[in-house]
Structures are given as structure tokens and as C-alpha cells.
Structure 1
Amino acid sequence: MKEDKSKKGIDDKIAKEPNAENPYKLLDLKLTKVETWAAGVPAVVAAFSDLIEEKTLVRGTKALFKMNQVGGFDCPSCAWPDPDDERSPLGEYCENGAKALAEEATTKKVTADFFKQNSVYELAKLDDYQIGKMGRLTEPMYLPQNGTHYQPISWDNAFEKIAKHLNKLESPDEAAFYTSGRTSNETSFLYQLFAKEYGTNNMPDCSNMCHETSGSALRPTIGIGKGTVTLDDFYDTDLIIIIGQNPGTNAPRMMSALSRGKKNGAKIIAINPLPEAGLMGFHNPQEVNGILRGGVKLADLFLPVKINGDMALLKALEIMLIEFEKKNPEKVFDYDFIKEKTTGYDAFLKQFENYNLDELVALSGVAKEALYEAAEMIALNKRIIVCWGMGLTQQPNGVEMIREILNILLLKGSIGKPGAGVCPVRGHSNVQGNRTMMIDEKPTDEQLDRLQSFYGFNPPRKHGYDVVRAIKAMDEEKVKLLFCMGGNFLSATPDTTFTANAIRKLNLTVCVSTKLNRTHLIHGQEAIILPTLSRSDIDIVNGEAQFISTENSMGVVQSSKGILKPVSDNLINETQIVCKMAMATLGNKTVINWQRYHDSYDAVRDDIEKCIPGFEDYNARVRQKGGFYLPNAARHGQFITKEFGDRVPFTLTTVPNNELAPDEYMMATTRTHDQFNTTIYGLDDRYRGIKNERRVIFMNQKDIELAGLKSGDIVDLFNYDDDIERIAPLFIIVSYQIPEKNTVTYFPETNVLVSVNNVVKDSNMPASKYVKIKIKKHDPKIYERINRL
């Protein structure tokens, strides 16, 4: 009888609280061929299959040929730049961009009747793939306290409720305003402006989870937290190094640039734990060679580094470069550049007296001969571009590793020159533009001074919460309202169970969205969904079609104008959502003419140019073909920082201790090829040979055998950071070419294993590529332990 009561208590809890994660269920895994090249005809077929699935073949195809074109709209997927010269008439998009467009252009709708028929609890039983495939949201929805179903609400009443909640908070710092990369420059500027006039710098954003590390590493050293190269630099360079980044899945159009660089004589080094298809070869579906003749080999050299063995690898390369320089004086290092542009060179050299090359090689996991070949390629070339992604930025020492990359480029004088520099490959389109528009929990005094001078109010000076700090503040009930401008906050963040429980403590959650996602189902005591227009939608304001603007990975600001009729007449744009919230909340206390901004994007841009350097004549220049480049002094060899003046410092870093217990493994989370960030387009990972399953763990065959397991076994995964047991049950082992003691899984399924305290030093990003786990055969009773967490 006692056991029955205990079980009933668990059942009551489950019935009350929706699933915080994807359901624990396996599908029907099929293993297929692991590919050694990306794109080609299969990518074209996959792209148009999604249009058919979304019942939008004609409508969607029409939009595809305007996506990323001059006068068209910006892809809602990645931030890879468009060519400055002529763009392909066949289409400037990739497979994942087409999939993103298909879900925007879908004719499927999520209406008030849908919510009437489906409770929050029942919807939460679905996985993220099923939730995302429901269709476009069509009208504002409200979930009352203790409610089971969302119900329709008028726009006016929605803003009235939001304003009431905001105005009854004891402090503006009890609210947090999250931003996703989808948000335009115009909306981002107004969103941060509203938050500051309201009184807080609590502006967590998606950059806090992807490239905050890049900015933290670069801004104090080269004077700007962005990359220094342009797309043209890829076409005319000697060597491209790609480390911790998978272009075939994360930025497929990057492969066209790599291919063009290869044809012009560039060499490519790929550094990654997995031999990703997009690093190895590219079949360009727009060229005969790409279809019939085997395409282009990309990587000339692949270095299969251990997870977080990158620092040891970089220092091993530096020791080899120093030896090359000793044997060939003044032929390897650029002493003129070092003397004129850097500081700390002697201390940098001296540190290597304390390092042993063979020990570094062993820690990297890469054969010494391969490292020597890489060092030789670096030594013999001057024009070098280094690209990286979240394989570096989500490591605990990511900031130091990026600065170590910079050390190598400084030795070679390979930054601030044509064909040479750093290239952090940004993820979501306009995530970089968000930060330029001052979406930042740590605004500078200079930025705040400009706002104060122009608008006449005193913005808050205290730094606000980033994503990780916001989650902890929600748990401590210091934040009571979360407003999400796009994105899927819960599925993007770490420590899923902890984060979900923190969200449930909120008084109100508000999500501005185009589609249903899990954050709508894990909510505060009250919840509001505000549906908005997408990039591809026609945006009419006062009878005139508007355009927005975005900034790509290489600092180009360009216009974006939708062409599709919206799926509902009850949608408004994000800019108007911000303005209506501001007017409802601030009333006659505001000093800003929000109605003027509500009625005209041009008015927003007119005032952006007065508050943010580099946007002079914004309205005129953004209407030019291809837009315009923002200032980037480091691109031209001018490095201005507060601490070092006009010089770039050589940085002294350390090699981490990645020792694991005998039963521990290092895990990195990643995305499938059928996925962009938290959006799941399908259940396959075509390039890695995975079909119809996401709950898999890639392991080295030797590790599988030593653990007494076999490929295909079902296991449970555990993390014990902070002395807390975190469990991700029901995963299938897949034998894969990966360094020993290393494993890879997909997110968001394993975000539950990433402690909210496992963060990158200095940037405070979740270190999702560095998670210590234990692996045990699946226990059917594991769910009872999970339910008690």
C-alpha cells in the first residue's frame, strides 16, 4: 500500500507538470553509409522534399529563388555571408536554408481551435520534431494560472497583461528579456531601448550560448569581438584552418567558398574529433563537376583531435613552428609585424621551456607526424585564415584557445591583411547584428552615454543577467518574468531539469514566435504566445511593404524584404510588438516616441545611425545593392584596445588537465544534419549514417569493447557535476571513428547532462562540448529515479 502511494505521488507530479524534455522513447534506428562528402543531388532532393511535406511546393519554391538574393529576404538559418559580386541565379541557399524556409512558408496552421483540442500536457508528450511540424501560429494565445489549455486573447489585452505584470514588479531587474538571432536590427535596437528605459540590462541572448567566447577572446586583444576577414579573402588565400566547426551541417554555403579557395590554390587543414563529411569533400549541386565528376576534395589534412585536446595541439604546433624558425631564420615568423603590431613576444617564447612536445602530442590525441605536416603547412604560408565554431567556444577554456589561435597568427603576421585573419563562424542569422544593436547584458559606458545624450533618459549602468545567470536568478526567484523575442529558450539552455523548474517559478513567460516549441509548454504561472511575421512574409505597415536589415558573419548590413502572403491576418511584426509593449508598459512616463517607430522602420534606422557608430546614412546605404560593410579596423591592421593601445598581446595560456576516471568519458553535444539549433527538421543524420533516430551515442569501438558493451546496446547516461545526479536515459550505442574515451550525442536530448555551473571561463557560456559522463546498460527502473529529481 505504501508503494502505491509513492507511485501515485510520482504520477500526480507528472500529470501536473509537462515533460521538460523530449520523450524517452526509441524509434527504429537504421545505420547507413557514413559519407565522405557533403551536398550534391541528395541535398537538393532533401530540400524540396521538405517543401512537399509542408504542402508549400509552389509557394516555397517561389520564395527560395528570392532568398539571399539582392532585393529578396535574408535566410532565417545561418549567418554565412552572401557574395558581394554576382549571386547564383539558381539559388543562393543550402539544404538547411531550404528546410528553414519550408517551415516558414508552410500552409499548415496552429489556430485557437488547435489549442482548444490539445492541452499543454498532451502537447508536451510530443518530441521537438513533432511539436515543430504543427505549422505556423496564427493569433495571440494566453494560458491562465492553473490553466490546462491556451486560449485566444486580443493583442490589446495581451499587452495589457504584460504591462500589468511588468509594472507590479518590485524592481525592473525582476524581468529578463531574451533575444534570438532571428530578430532584425530594427527590432533589436528597440528591444534593448525599451529594456533600458524600463530600467534593466537583463538581456540574455543566444550569443551567450554560441559565440560569447569569441567576443570575450577577441575584443580585449584585437579591439573588436568579430571576425576580420571577408568572403573575398577565402577566394584568395594560401591556407584555411577549420577547427571545431562542421560547415557541411552548420553553414553549408561555406563549402562553396572553401571550394573556390581550393580552386585558386588554397590548402585546408581540418581539426575536429569527428571526420565530418563537410570537411572532407563538396559536391556543388549547381555545377556539372559537382554532380558527375566527384566534386572537390576539401581537407588536405585532417587532425582527429581529442575533445578539449585543442590547446595541447596548438602548443605542439607552436613548438614545431619555433623549431622551423630556428632552422630557417626570418623565413617562418614575420618579425616586422611582431615588432610593429604586438607585445609580449619574448615572454611567449620563454613559456615553451616548460613544455614537452611528446606530452603535448599525446594530450592532443593526434599523431606526431600529422602535426608536423600541419606545422609545415603553416610555416610555408603567410596568408592564413582560421575558422572556428562551437567546438571551441563551448569548451571551458575556449577563450584561451581562441587567443592561442591568435598567437599563431601573430607569429605569422597573418591578420589584418588580405587573405588572412580570424573567422568565427556565427550560427543564427543576425546573432551578430543583435550584439551590434546593443543586445548585451554588459553595455559599455560609451554606448549608454550615446543613448542618454540622444534620448534624454539615464539608462541603467549595472550589468544584467546573461543566460546562465538568468536561469539561476529565476531559480532563486530574483527574476519573475521572462520575455523571449524568438528562440526556444528551454531547449537551447543547459541543465534541462533545473532550467525547467526555474521557469515554472516565474509569474509570467511571454514568447514571440512563428511556430510552436517546447518553451511554450514549460511556462510560468501564466504564459502568453505572441505570433509574429517571419523573414519571408510580406510586412505591410500603413499600406506600404517594409523591409528589415540584418548583419552577417562578416559585418555586412543588408536589407531583407519578404515576398509571401502571411498565413494569418492577425500577425504583427516584431518591431510593432516591442512598440506596443513599450507604450502599454511605460505610458506617459516614456520620453521616446514609440508610435513613430511603430509606424516606420525608416524612423528606427534614422535614429540607429545617431546612436551606433558605423551606421551613418543608414537608410540610404542599406538600400544599395548588397548593403554595406561596418567599420572593422582590425581587418585593416589597426588594433585598438584600452589595455594595449595599438598593439596585440601574445597571450600566455595553460594546457588543461582532462584526466578521466576509468569509468568516465568525455561527451560533446552536437546537432544532426536534419537540425538547425533547436529546430528539428527530420530524424536523420545523413552524413553520419544515422536514419530515423536521435537518441544515439557515438563511441570508439575499443571503448565499447572495454566496457563490455556492443554497438546497438541501449544505455543510460549520467553526469555527476556539483554532486548532483543527472540522467539521460535510453540511448543506442553507435560505433564511430572518434578518439578513445570521447563520445558525441545530440542536443537538446542531452542538455540535461550539462550542469548550469559547467561554463566557459570569462564568457560564462555553457560548456556543452565538455561534459564528463558515465555510461551504464539501460535499467527499466531508471525512470522512477528521474521522476524524483
Structure 2
Amino acid sequence: MSSHVRIKRYEGPAGGWGSVQSLFKNALKNKVRLSTLDALLHQNKKSGFACVSCAWAKPAKPHPAEFCENGAKATIWELTSKKATPDFFAAHTVTELRSWDDYSLEAVGRLTHPMRYDHLLDIYEPVSWQLAFEEIGRELKAIRADDPKKVVFYASGRASLETSYMYQLLARLYGNNNLPDSSNMCHETTSVALPEVIGQPVGTVRLDDFEHADAIFFFGQNTGSNSPRMLHQLQEAAKRGCTIITFNPLKERGLERFTNPQSPTEMLTGSETRISHRYYQVKAGGDIAAITGICKSLFEREAASGGILDHAFIAEHCHGFDDFRAYCHEQSWGVLEAESGLKREEMEEAAAIYARANAVMGVFGMGLTQHKHGVTSVQTLINLLLLRGNIGKPGAGICPVRGHSNVQGQRTVGISEKPELVPLDKLKELYGFEPPREEGLNTVDACYGILSGDVRAFVGLGGNFLRAVPETGPMEEAWPRMRLTVQVATKLNRGHLFNGDVAYLLPCLGRIEVDRQETGLQVVTMEDSTACFHASKGRARPISEHLLSEPKIVAEIAKASLPVNPQVPWDDWVADYSEVRNAIEATYPEIFKDFNKRMWTPGGFEKPLSANKREWKTETGKANFRVPKALSASFDNGADKDVLRLITLRSNDQFNTTVYGYSDRFRGVEGTRMIVFLNPADMARLGLRDADIVTLETASSDNVARSRPGLRVVPYNIPEGCCGAYYPECNVLIPLAQHAEQSKVPAAKSVPVRVVKQDGQIQLQAAE
């Protein structure tokens, strides 16, 4: 945390000079290498590398600088000249490092040597790769002999398709489907919701659909901080007359107005583009009610004058229409207003805009998925699109905006705890083994297994699992009770400071670095949010000669821990990644036909999407309307007026758990992350003033202590009954049991909280 804290309203747009200044400061702090400048010119371009930050699409005709503020920060962060060497670890005990904040840990720099944790000295010590793999293999063999289901193989969303394919095979050859990943924490809700209603687990929108959309309905996604390159498509759409309607509790600057840093005219004149034509501040968890209100208005308009709904599409392609229409008819406007936080007139206005548009796109993020009824939220948005045939035509469709750069792709090639989603019979045929058929552990179940002691080993392929999951206190306490913990990483994070009896920290090449193997320079591939696959080639010199590539590390762990299988060519795959792509094609021939030839296709080559052809691979053979299970997506039932809904937020200087600095420019917060944003009316009602210091505590019946002290109150434009605070600092407040039904995604966007006064000290308590 900075010694200087400043809270001041930010009046500027997204992008503009604020973005340029932020990047310049970030580059100075990280002592960037000259190779960084070269890398940025090749970021998200053909023959270049895919951004290590978000998964937004890569255009066939890129901009001169095809990177955003956060994407550039991610590149600078990875290509820093600072190093976390053995000397650094010798000088700092792990206990001491636990007192450091997230930013300070990663800011140390890149990991340079494989390290083993010494419990007696409480430090990481360097170890040879050979000894590391030998001991990891010995430990995994011992656990496998007891019960292979006691090991978790976690993958973050950055691992390439090649690495991910090898990793899922490692887990299944080991004997389990325990393959939780970062999707379990964010968009697994999407992967559960969409197959039931349109027959595929991913969105239908391609990048060129933005050129044809008449209207875009935006729900719960802060593109200005989480996927800023998307602002190019939104700006172009807005300028040509596409109407953008946003539903989000907070006014996010990237969805309000934007100055394109790549436009000399806009930068010199300070001109801005208005992004959202209407901005409805729905309360946390109120999206189901808001969408239902829009649908109700559409039905009323249809009954009054006709010509609103696409009856031909509904008759030919849809199932469950009558039940959904009856449901909407039964809902009262008063209840819809109370649950959504919007006025009837606002929902009717949105319905009128929707009715006038021939092609409508539904865009959403974790503001829909991270709720108790997240699956219902997504499916209710699909209901809205189906009413006018907005699936399977140009400019229309559903567009989930994914986070990590290959989080969607790794699921495509088998990183899944659900065996029914993986071609196990094909793996059996190719590799001569009997794959496990039992469902594995997802993120929430893996946490329960670690807490109970059933999980004996955790292998982490990137990420910051322990920091990203709920129930921070109990999870950190339980983590060291495991026998083995292995973390593959590029930088130090808090998750590396809690270790099993045997613990290794293995440094890998970053995606932007040159990866040279036996057959020469290697290329990896990714899948973006629009289901297109792209090649990615590193350019920068590796920060250390002691780094290994992710495929190499996975292969060596596999060889050390598994019986010899001549049908699995681990060494050949490491020598030539094109051979891994041939294996992926053999496993998924319909998706990856001619993989090695097509991976350089400008704009990426497309995954086949059945819903785009109006082929519905559902139980009914049609697109399904779903009657909502509830109007509120939250665990809070609204009965207690003292209960607020806590929304966990990311700052402008952050991507997932990676904190690049202490500047949340768009929200006007500088020098701190210890903030709670409150509606002024709630502050007045609760007796709070600006800059009061408060404590967040979990008030639950399970006797688990959850607290987040030292938060500064900031009055903010947020709906009454809601408050906001930063992730991952406030993960400590989220009970593990509060997750989305069906998908088990942690419900981090509407954690029920109660405000109480105790001896003059204000405390926010998470209420179950």
C-alpha cells in the first residue's frame, strides 16, 4: 500500500491520456527490458504472441498497437528485468513473506530457479530440476498407490492448448478427473447454463458480429478494466448507430465513455465516444428480475399491437415458450421493481429499444455468473434473445466475456472435472489405458477436500489458487496439512507461501519468451472468447537459463510419477509441439481438423458452433426457454433491510489476483485497496461518514471466523442496499457454501452483509 492515499472523483474517460500515463508509470516501476517494446508491437498479431491477460478476440486486421492498458501492463509485468533469485529467498523467510501484500510479492520479479521449501529453516532453497522431478514423482507414486483420487491437478487459464492437453492426460493416466481450473471460479456457470438451452457451452458471437449488431445489451461486465480491447468494437458499434444498453450496479467508466489512445485526433482534441446510450443501475443479483421485466413488457406490446416477437423462429426452433410467457404474465411490476432495483419505466424503455432492433447481442460477465442463481441469470438472458430470434443470425447472439487468456481453450482440450465432456473412449484408443469415469473435483469440492484432509497433494499449473478461492482463513490453515504441494509459476504469489510437507516452486517460461526445444523454436496456441484459435510465438529472451517450458515440466512430472506407456510420447511432444497439436486433432477431429495448417489464420480459425447454424444439441432438439427459479440471484432474500449485498471488485490496476499497483483510476482511488464503497443513503441510515474505518466480519451460524478489518468508507454511486470492496482481499468473507447452484461458482457478486455498531465501531458482517 502506498503511503499516500487519495480519494478523488475521476472525471476523464476510459483510455485517453490517463491510460498512457498509467502505462508509463508502470513501465518505470518494473524496469522494463528493451525487448518489451518489440514485444508490444507484436502483441495479438499474426506471427506474434497472444496477450497473457484477457481472452478477448484477436482481429484479422489488427490496430497498429493491438493491446490495451491492462494487456500492456501484463506484458510489462512478465518482461520485467527484476528477478526473484535464490539470494532473495535466502534473505526472506516464508513467514516474513506472508506479511507482504499481493503487489509486493509479485513485484519482486521473475522466478529464476527451481526451489524446494525447507521447513526447518522456513525458506525456499534452490534444487536441481532432476532432484525436483525425482522427489515429486516419488511422492505422487506413493499417493497413487494409496488412492489416486487424493491428488488435485489445478490449471490456471493461461496454460496453452498444448500444455493443457498434456496436463489433462497426465491427470487421467494418474487415475482421476480432479481437474479444477479458473473457469470453476468464474464462467463455469456459463458452461452449465448454455448447453441446456442452446446446446453448446460457449457463446455464439464472433468478432464481425459487432459490425452488424443493431443493439447490444450488456450485463455485469466491466470491460474498461477487465477486457479493454473490446472497447474498440464497442466504440465502432456506437459510432455507426448501434444502441448499447448497460445493466450494472456501478457506473463503470469504460461503459460510459471512451477516448481511443490509438487515434491521434481523439488524443489531441480530447474527444470522447459515448458507449452506453442507457445505463441502468440494477442492484446486485437483480438481473433476472430486470430481464423478466423487459420480457413482460415485450409480451404486453405483442398483445397490444403484434409484430414484436419472432413467432416463426419460436415455432420452428424453440421449446417451452408458453410456460415462459405465462410466468412473465404472472409477475407483478411492483415485485419486479423491488427485485431489480429498476423502475417499470426503465424496463419498458429497454424493451422498446430491444423491439426496434433487428439484431441484438447479449454480452455478460461475472456479474451474472457469480450468484446463487447464476445459471438462471444466464438462461433468462437467453430467453430474451430467443423472443426475437437473436441466436443464429449476423449481429446477434450470446457473448460471455471470458477472463484469462486461454481459460475457454483449456476446457476445449480436456481440462474438466466432468468426464462426460471429454472423449474418454478416444483417449483410451489413442493411449491404451482405461480413463477414470467418475466425476472429479471442481474448485469448490477441491477446497472441501483440502479442508477435510481428503486431498493429500496439489499440483498447480500456474495461477494463485489459494488467494482466488473463498474461505481464505480456513483454507490457509488447512493447506500445510497436505503431503505434497507443487506450484508451476512465473512469479511469486501468496499461494506459494503455504506449503505441504514436501513443497516445490517450479519456474516456467512465460508465453512471451522464446521457447526453443530439440526441433527448434516452438509455437503454442490459444482459444479466445469468440471460440477462435490462434498461434502464439514468444519473442523475448528468457529471464533465466534455468527456466523450463510448461510442456517440459508437465512431461517430466508425468514420466517421474506414471508407469511407462510407450503409446504416450512425452519426449516427442516436448521436442516438437506440432506433435501435440496432431494429438489434439486426433482426439477432437471435428474441432481441430488441419490444426497445424490453420493455426496462423488471420483472426484465428473458428471452432464449429452448432447454435450459429440453428442446430440445437439439447435434449429437446430445440432451443429451450427456461422458467426462472427465482427473481433474485442472491443468497440474500431481501427480508432484512439492514442486510447489504457485497460485490467484490477488481481495480483498474489489476487482472484477476495480479495487482499491478494501487491506482483504481476510474473509481478515483489512489494508494490503497482497503476500501468499501457505500451508497450515501445507506451511510446516513447506518450512521457512517466518509473516511470512517470499518471492519467486515462474517456473521454466520457455522462458527467460522471471517473478517476484513481496516476498510475505509467511500461514498459512491452504487444502488442502495449494495456495497463494493476489492477482490481478492474480501474473499475471506465469502463462505465456501455460498456458490452458484449447479455450477458451484463462488457467489462473489452478492455476498449478504449486515452493518452493526458495537462500542462505537462499525462492523460489516456477511450474513448467511
Q: Indicate the TM-score class for this superposition, using the shorter chain for normalisation.
A: over 0.9
**Residues in 2 aligned to 1:779 and 1:447: alpha-carbon distance in whole angstroms:** 60
* Distance change >3 Å, CA 300–CA 317, structure 1 → 2: same
SS in 2 for 1:444: helix
> What residue is the counterpart of 1:379 in the other structure?
355
Contact map agreement 1:719 1:771 (CA 8 A) in 2: no
Residue 362 of structure 1 and its aligned partner are, at CA, apart by 2.3
Residue 37 of structure 1 and its aligned partner are, at CA, apart by 2.3
TM-score between both structures, scaled by the size of structure 2: 0.96
**Residues in 2 aligned to 1:340 and 1:36: alpha-carbon distance in whole angstroms:** 48
RMSD: 1.8
Segment of structure 1 superposing worse, 540-549 or 478-487: 540-549
Residue 484 of structure 1 and its aligned partner are, at CA, apart by 0.4
Residue 625 of structure 1 and its aligned partner are, at CA, apart by 3.5
Residue 7 of structure 2 is aligned to residue 31 of structure 1: yes
Match of 2:613 among 628, 636, 644: 636
Match of 1:774 among 736, 754, 767: 754
TM-score between both structures, scaled by the size of structure 1: 0.93
> What residue is the counterpart of 1:761 in the other structure?
741
Cα shift readout 1:541-600 (whole Å, capped 9, x = no counterpart)? 016111100000001111000100001000010001111111111142564121111211
Give the fraction of aligned pairs with identical amino acids, expressed as a percent: 40
- Structure 2 regions of 5+ residues with no counterpart? none
> What residue is the counterpart of 2:178 in the other structure?
202
Residue 652 of structure 1 and its aligned partner are, at CA, apart by 4.2
SS in 1 for 2:747: coil
**Residues in 2 aligned to 1:69 and 1:369: alpha-carbon distance in whole angstroms:** 45
SS in 2 for 1:395: coil
Contact map agreement 1:204 1:470 (CA 8 A) in 2: yes
SS in 2 for 1:43: helix
Contact map agreement 1:520 1:527 (CA 8 A) in 2: no
SS in 1 for 2:42: coil
Residue 647 of structure 2 is aligned to residue 705 of structure 1: no
Residue 236 of structure 1 and its aligned partner are, at CA, apart by 1.4
Residue 706 of structure 2 is aligned to residue 729 of structure 1: no
SS in 2 for 1:228: coil
> What residue is the counterpart of 1:325 in the other structure?
302
AA partner of residue 308 (structure 2): V
Residues 610-649 of structure 1 correspond to what in structure 2 (within 5 A)? 610-612=586-588, 613-641=590-618, 643-649=619-625
Contact map agreement 2:480 2:501 (CA 8 A) in 1: yes
Residue 661 of structure 1 and its aligned partner are, at CA, apart by 2.6
> What residue is the counterpart of 1:340 in the other structure?
316
Residue 313 of structure 1 and its aligned partner are, at CA, apart by 0.9
> What residue is the counterpart of 2:142 in the other structure?
168
Contact map agreement 1:283 1:289 (CA 8 A) in 2: no
**Residues in 2 aligned to 1:30 and 1:115: alpha-carbon distance in whole angstroms:** 34
SS in 2 for 1:168: helix
> What residue is the counterpart of 2:728 in the other structure?
748
Contact map agreement 1:713 1:777 (CA 8 A) in 2: no
Aligned length: 756
**Residues in 2 aligned to 1:395 and 1:161: alpha-carbon distance in whole angstroms:** 41
Residue 288 of structure 1 and its aligned partner are, at CA, apart by 3.4
SS in 1 for 2:481: coil
**Residues in 2 aligned to 1:260 and 1:778: alpha-carbon distance in whole angstroms:** 52
**Residues in 2 aligned to 1:590 and 1:163: alpha-carbon distance in whole angstroms:** 18
> What residue is the counterpart of 1:669 in the other structure?
648
Match of 1:306 among 283, 293, 297: 283
Contact map agreement 2:214 2:357 (CA 8 A) in 1: yes
AA partner of residue 512 (structure 1): V
Residue 662 of structure 1 and its aligned partner are, at CA, apart by 4.0
Contact map agreement 1:759 1:767 (CA 8 A) in 2: yes
Segment of structure 1 superposing worse, 242-251 or 443-452: 443-452
Residue 124 of structure 1 and its aligned partner are, at CA, apart by 1.1
Residue 146 of structure 1 and its aligned partner are, at CA, apart by 4.2
**Residues in 2 aligned to 1:317 and 1:782: alpha-carbon distance in whole angstroms:** 39
* Distance change >3 Å, CA 662–CA 361, structure 1 → 2: closer
Cα shift readout 1:32-54 (whole Å, capped 9, x = no counterpart)? 22346211121122123222221
**Residues in 1 aligned to 2:7 and 2:609: alpha-carbon distance in whole angstroms:** 46
Match of 2:95 among 121, 125, 128: 121
Residue 229 of structure 2 is aligned to residue 238 of structure 1: no
**Residues in 1 aligned to 2:448 and 2:755: alpha-carbon distance in whole angstroms:** 28
Residue 524 of structure 1 and its aligned partner are, at CA, apart by 1.6
AA partner of residue 303 (structure 1): Y
AA partner of residue 659 (structure 2): I
Residues 302-451 of structure 1 correspond to what in structure 2 (within 5 A)? 302-329=279-306, 331-444=307-420, 447-451=423-427
* Distance change >3 Å, CA 722–CA 222, structure 1 → 2: farther
> What residue is the counterpart of 2:259 in the other structure?
283
* Distance change >3 Å, CA 650–CA 782, structure 1 → 2: closer
**Residues in 2 aligned to 1:406 and 1:669: alpha-carbon distance in whole angstroms:** 25
Residue 445 of structure 1 and its aligned partner are, at CA, apart by 6.8
> What residue is the counterpart of 2:110 in the other structure?
136
Cα shift readout 1:335-384 (whole Å, capped 9, x = no counterpart)? 01000100111111112343101221122111222222111101111200
Cα shift readout 1:595-635 (whole Å, capped 9, x = no counterpart)? 11121101101111000131011111113334311111112
* Distance change >3 Å, CA 303–CA 566, structure 1 → 2: same
Segment of structure 1 superposing worse, 487-496 or 443-452: 443-452
Segment of structure 1 superposing worse, 441-450 or 586-595: 586-595
Residue 772 of structure 1 and its aligned partner are, at CA, apart by 1.3
* Distance change >3 Å, CA 293–CA 122, structure 1 → 2: closer
Segment of structure 1 superposing worse, 769-778 or 136-145: 769-778
Residue 538 of structure 1 and its aligned partner are, at CA, apart by 0.4
AA partner of residue 274 (structure 2): K
* Distance change >3 Å, CA 653–CA 602, structure 1 → 2: same
Segment of structure 1 superposing worse, 539-548 or 148-157: 539-548
Contact map agreement 2:376 2:629 (CA 8 A) in 1: yes
> What residue is the counterpart of 1:22 in the other structure?
none
Residue 67 of structure 2 is aligned to residue 88 of structure 1: no
Residue 458 of structure 2 is aligned to residue 482 of structure 1: yes
AA partner of residue 87 (structure 1): P
**Residues in 1 aligned to 2:667 and 2:639: alpha-carbon distance in whole angstroms:** 27
**Residues in 1 aligned to 2:266 and 2:211: alpha-carbon distance in whole angstroms:** 18
AA partner of residue 630 (structure 1): K
Contact map agreement 1:696 1:733 (CA 8 A) in 2: yes
* Distance change >3 Å, CA 652–CA 746, structure 1 → 2: closer
Segment of structure 1 superposing worse, 591-600 or 607-616: 591-600
Contact map agreement 2:213 2:242 (CA 8 A) in 1: yes
**Residues in 2 aligned to 1:771 and 1:721: alpha-carbon distance in whole angstroms:** 12
Residues 648-663 of structure 1 correspond to what in structure 2 (within 5 A)? 648-656=624-632, 658-663=637-642
**Residues in 1 aligned to 2:605 and 2:487: alpha-carbon distance in whole angstroms:** 32
Residues 566-577 of structure 1 correspond to what in structure 2 (within 5 A)? 566-577=542-553
> What residue is the counterpart of 1:715 in the other structure?
694
AA partner of residue 103 (structure 1): W
Segment of structure 1 superposing worse, 752-761 or 623-632: 623-632
Segment of structure 1 superposing worse, 51-60 or 517-526: 51-60
**Residues in 2 aligned to 1:117 and 1:108: alpha-carbon distance in whole angstroms:** 16
**Residues in 1 aligned to 2:671 and 2:641: alpha-carbon distance in whole angstroms:** 32
Contact map agreement 1:382 1:413 (CA 8 A) in 2: no
Contact map agreement 1:48 1:57 (CA 8 A) in 2: no
Contact map agreement 1:433 1:550 (CA 8 A) in 2: yes
**Residues in 2 aligned to 1:558 and 1:737: alpha-carbon distance in whole angstroms:** 40
Segment of structure 1 superposing worse, 724-733 or 423-432: 724-733
